[in-house]
């Protein structure tokens, strides 16, 4: 008889829990467990006071934790919304962001605007290369960097063309920088891009800035915000090259630190 009662209690409890999504026990399931336990307990062997108080204490603790979790979720959502609203003030401003993604856009007149890329070697460089890769990781442009000194920041002012002088399609490209010192060892470099902010998006609680070249960068990666300074490169490759580099070398010495 007792065995049948226990079986019936388990069946009722499991059926009620199965109706929940996710399969996790919440405070209602915990309360249902207590009620079911009362319903099928042996009248000649009731629950002891200590056991009942212990279970009610567990129920109270569970409810408090669930309420705290709900409050934290609400606080997180409010914080994310606040960050998103604050990030909209970046729209129209120029930002310096840690990264190596550059974008190319071309207006109706055929003038191309390229994201400016800058790098600061951590050691003296005797040789190196800069590659521009498309979204499929295909190389569309490359050049030698030549010797570079540590403590100096250099610009890479790409004109949006491949090595044959043919303009490439608009889009987001990756700059791949390879530097070596006198010992042939790889040299690390601080890499940043400068671009104007055109929009703000959020994904899984992370706020991203949309740049004019089409890149999305995390708000946390922004190092500097300033009034926009537009640098446009036309198809001749002459406009926008203020680096002072030689022909065919888009790298120049800015003498500043990112």
195, 233: one domain? yes
Which segment, 71-75, 172-176, 203-207, is predicted with the most confidence on average?
172-176
CATH number, domain of 105, equals 2.60.40.4070
**227 vs 257: which has the higher pLDDT:** 227
Largest Cα–Cα distance of the chain, in whole Å?
99
Torsions phi, psi for 18 (to 5 deg): -65, -25
Please give the Cα distance from 158 to 62 (Å, whole number). Answer: 60
Residue range 31-51: average pLDDT?
Answer: 60
Residue positions counted in the chain: 258
Which pLDDT belongs to residue 246? 39
CA 70-76-82 angle, 5° bins: 140
* Helix extents (H) in 40-145: 49-87
Q: Which of 68, 88, 108 is the endpoint of a domain?
A: 88
Please give the residue range of the domain that contains residue 21. Answer: 2-88
In a domain, 258, yes or no: no
Please report the pLDDT score of residue 19 as a whole number. Answer: 57
Residue 71 near residue 48 (C-beta atoms within 8 A): no
pLDDT value of position 238: 38
The DSSP letter of residue 119 is E
């Amino acid at each position: 008889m007792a065995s049948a009662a226990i079986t019936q209690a388990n069946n009722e409890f499991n059926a009620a829990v199965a109706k929940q999504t996710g399969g996790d026990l919440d405070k209602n399931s915990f309360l249902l467990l207590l009620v079911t336990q009362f319903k099928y307990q042996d009248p000649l062997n009731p629950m002891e006071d200590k056991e009942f108080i212990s279970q009610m204490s567990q129920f109270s603790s569970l409810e408090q934790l669930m309420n705290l979790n709900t409050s934290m979720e609400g606080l997180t959502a409010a914080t994310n919304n606040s960050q998103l609203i604050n990030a909209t003030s970046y729209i129209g401003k120029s930002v310096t962001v840690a990264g190596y993604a550059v974008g190319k856009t071309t207006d109706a007149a055929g003038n191309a605007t390229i994201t400016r890329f800058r790098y600061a070697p951590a050691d003296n460089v005797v040789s190196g290369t800069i590659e521009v890769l498309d979204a499929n990781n295909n190389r569309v442009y490359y050049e030698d960097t030549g010797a570079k000194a540590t403590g100096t920041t250099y610009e890479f002012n790409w004109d949006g063309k491949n090595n044959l002088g043919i303009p490439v399609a608009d889009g987001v490209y990756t700059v791949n920088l390879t530097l070596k010192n006198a010992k042939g060892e790889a040299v690390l470099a601080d890499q940043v891009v400068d671009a104007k902010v055109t929009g703000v998006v959020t994904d899984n609680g992370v706020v991203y800035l949309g740049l004019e070249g089409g890149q999305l960068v995390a708000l946390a990666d922004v190092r500097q915000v300033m009034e926009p300074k537009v640098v446009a490169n036309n198809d001749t490759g002459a406009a926008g090259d203020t680096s002072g580099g030689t022909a065919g070398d888009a790298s120049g010495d800015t003498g500043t630190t990112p």
